[in-house]
Amino acid sequence: MLCSSETTLTVLIYSLCLFFLPQTFDKILIANRGEIACRVMKTCKKMGIQTVAVHSDVDSSAVHVKMADEAVCVGPAPTNKSYLNMEAILEAIRHTGAQAVHPGYGFLSENKEFAKRLVADGVTFIGPDTHAIQAMGDKIESKLIAKAAKVNTIPGFDGVVKVGYPVMIKASAGGGGKGMRIAWNDEETREGFRFSSQEAASSFGDDRLLIEKYIDNPRHIEIQVLADKHGNALWLNERECSIQRRNQKVVEEAPSTFLDPDTRRAMGEQAVQLAKAVKYSSAGTVEFLVDSKKNFYFLEMNTRLQVEHPITECITGLDLVEQMIRVAKGYRLQHEQKDIPINGWAIESRVYAEDPYKSFGLPSIGRLSQYQEPLNLSNVRVDSGIEEGSDISIYYDPMISKLVTFGSTRAEALARMEDALDSYVIRGVTHNIPLLREIITHPRFISGDISTNFLPEVYPDGFKGHQLDVESRRELLAAAVALYITSQLRSQKILGDLRVSSAPMESSCWELCVELGEGQHHVHVIKSGNVYTVEADGGKVEVCGQWNLASTLLPITVNGADRMLQCLSREASGTLVLQYMGTLVAEGQEICVIEAMKMQNSLTAAKPAKVKSVHCKAGETVGEGDLLVELE
């Protein structure tokens, strides 16, 4: 506890720090929710800026609401009635006296009408001006501008070059993988136009599409740019974003293993050329597709803070939100291009409430009954907007957090990511940590041999979970047996005394039969202190640990190697669930279309059959496991 003189000194130092900070805004409203709203608020607090949260009625107890200095409800749960409700958000700004608005990403972040109305009301939009938003928000116009600025573009988008299949169909106003389809023939093109236009209309209110040559097996590499209102612009190195499912990023890293200094510089300079061509001022991202020969082509520019911005912050030491706020206030950039470093390596895993065993991730909903972030580990950052007890609902993106690790080398960052994923406790919803762990430990990923086709190439039949070899199966058996025996021994005792006085003394040797999957394994176990020696499947495994069964995480060593064990459930029957290491229709005919998180998924018949009954209606909300259509 501080004495009065120490308290006075602390307040004085804090006041002096605030005095020497550049004066920006007194109060900022964050027109977003979840992890990005929390992320922006952290920087605002650091800069001495008060914050205002907006929220829907179901988000009234959300973390971003608790973190803000003020909070205003802007409507019911559906996004078009709350977080996209422009009138309600503008009224919240007037009511709270916020001087500026940070839009985060998604929602209204790239809505030129919203930015225009803020300016008309004398409120600063923390982002680029409406001209840049409009120019880069339209994929057709942005590519014409890029071509004029001598930025490499993909053939076909402007109708000048005839291209053959495959082609990419895109929503002109789109982003985030929505409204995108690859077509390899005429039939897929017709189907792609239908789905892409519907998704585009649902997500962006604009169903215009463009079509261009699809670059097969490319890398997706983007350049972070930062520009001010005085004509200065920088490129802050690249981010490798090739690991994707359904055109949405899953794992990102900075820098890329693929780029050499010359290619990096060329991409960075072209990104700055494009930013200057539209008089861009703020943080933004220029995305490229890069082929195997390091030819790169402009994809799009996102005129907002990018989801994966933390990995750029890790390797450059810059706070991008702070830079956006400074630029919005009119300050010049503090750095020159020569000042931008690449210090170390950073990796980001997007942790989602998704079932990775279904199309690499279909949304899961529920309440987080247990939640523990791995922040006890060094060089680990978790950007989240949830806590234990939070609900993952059907109304919003199912992202739980962005898990970021940093190291002096890529190998160090990867090792930390593996530890962080193993130590991440999430209960109550299905999550994608098993898939993330498999990706970052896969030999192809470790070697840097990746492309946007990584997931379908590595898992052509879909993700099936970690496949145990003989050694890892033996290790799992040993860990499970050690945990089971520890649990049984503890249950024999009450306050240190034997439950039944006539019970035999504690054993130190056991013969057990363990069921793993569909197989049975006979194991021999010897216990000495905290060490279990297990003989199984013709081999011997030594497992030791402190075996604190009340803990959600059990650090153990298996044959001298550190492992993290999570016991998901333990039943009286002896069953353990562990997380370790992680009309007449024709075949293929579409039966129904499900929209999940504004992505449309077509369900088709697996074989010729007759529709027996339909259990759903158009526009109805359905849950996981619900019976939709019966075929016979």
Spans of all domains in the chain: 27-126, 155-214, 345-458, 470-490+507-580, 589-631
Burial of 267 (0-12, 13-18, 19+ CB in 10 A): buried
Separation of first and last alpha carbons in the chain: 73
What is the tens place of the pLDDT at every residue in 181-209? 888 888 888 888 888 888 777 666 777 77
> Rounded to 5 degrees, what are φ and ψ at 422?
-65, -25
Q: How far is CA 133 from CA 116, 136, 143, 279, in A?
A: 10, 5, 14, 11
Q: In what order do the strands lie in the sheet with 584-585?
A: 584-585, 609-614, 629-631
304 is catalytic: yes
Q: How far is CA 252 from CA 221, 306, 359, 387, in A?
A: 9, 12, 20, 24
Compute and round to an integer the Cα radius of gyration of the chain: 27
- Residue of 304, 326, 381, 437 marked active site: 304
Amino acid at 574: G
Please list, in sequence order, all residues whose beta carbon lies within 8 angstroms of the beta carbon of residue 21, skipping any fewer than 6 positions away: 47, 48
Burial of 348 (0-12, 13-18, 19+ CB in 10 A): buried
- Do residues 241 and 221 lie in contact, with contact meaning Cβ atoms separated by under 8 Å? yes
**Greatest Cα pair distance in the chain:** 91
> Rounded to 5 degrees, what are φ and ψ at 123?
-110, 135
DSSP E strands, 462-559: 493-494, 497-498, 509-516, 519-528, 531-536, 539-545, 554-558
Q: In what order do the strands lie in the sheet with 509-516?
A: 509-516, 519-528, 531-536, 539-545, 554-558, 561-570, 576-580
pLDDT for 192? 84
- pTM across the whole model: 0.83
Reported residue count of the chain is: 632
| Segments in 168-319 forming alpha helices (H) | 186-204, 261-277, 309-316
Burial of 491 (0-12, 13-18, 19+ CB in 10 A): exposed
CA 250/CA 349 separation, integer angstroms: 6
CATH architecture of 470-490+507-580: 2-Layer Sandwich (3.30)
- For the four alpha carbons of 90, 96, 101 and 107, in that order, the dihedral sign comes to negative
Q: How far is CA 269 from CA 247, 295, 341, in A?
A: 26, 15, 16
Angle at which helices 309-316 and 320-329 cross, to 10° = 90
- Do residues 566 and 578 lie in contact, with contact meaning Cβ atoms separated by under 8 Å? yes
Question: Is CATH 3.30.1490.20 correct for 155-214?
Answer: yes
Structural tokens at position 291:
């082929």
Q: In what order do the strands lie in the sheet with 70-75?
A: 70-75, 50-56, 27-30, 100-102, 124-125
CA 462/CA 458 separation, integer angstroms: 9
Structural tokens at position 73:
């409800």
What is the tens place of the pLDDT at every residue in 336-353? 999 999 999 999 999 999
3-state class of 624 per DSSP? Answer: coil
pLDDT for 582? 57
At the topology level of CATH, where does 345-458 sit? D-amino Acid Aminotransferase; Chain A, domain 1 (3.30.470)
Q: How far is CA 77 from CA 74, 84, 96, 118, 334, in A?
A: 9, 11, 22, 24, 41
> Rounded to 5 degrees, what are φ and ψ at 446?
-60, -40
Which stretches of the chain drop beneath a pLDDT of 70?
1-21, 156-163, 172-178, 202-204, 493-507, 572-574, 576, 581-610, 619, 624, 632
CA 427/CA 413 separation, integer angstroms: 26
Structural tokens at position 189:
């093109």
Structural tokens at position 429:
């919803």
Q: Right CATH number for 27-126 from 3.40.50.20, 3.40.190.10, 3.40.50.150, 3.40.50.970?
A: 3.40.50.20
Structural tokens at position 14:
């804090």
pLDDT for 176? 59
CA 407/CA 347 separation, integer angstroms: 9
> Given the structure tokens 């998180």, which residue do they identify?
597
Please list, in sequence order, all residues whose beta carbon lies within 8 angstroms of the beta carbon of residue 330, skipping any fewer than 6 positions away: 229
> Rounded to 5 degrees, what are φ and ψ at 452?
-70, -10
Q: Nearest-CA neighbor of 528 among 542, 511, 539, 512? A: 542
Distance of CA 135 to the CA centre of its chain: 27
CA 580/CA 250 separation, integer angstroms: 21
Which 8-state DSSP code applies to residue 57?
Answer: G
pLDDT for 605? 66
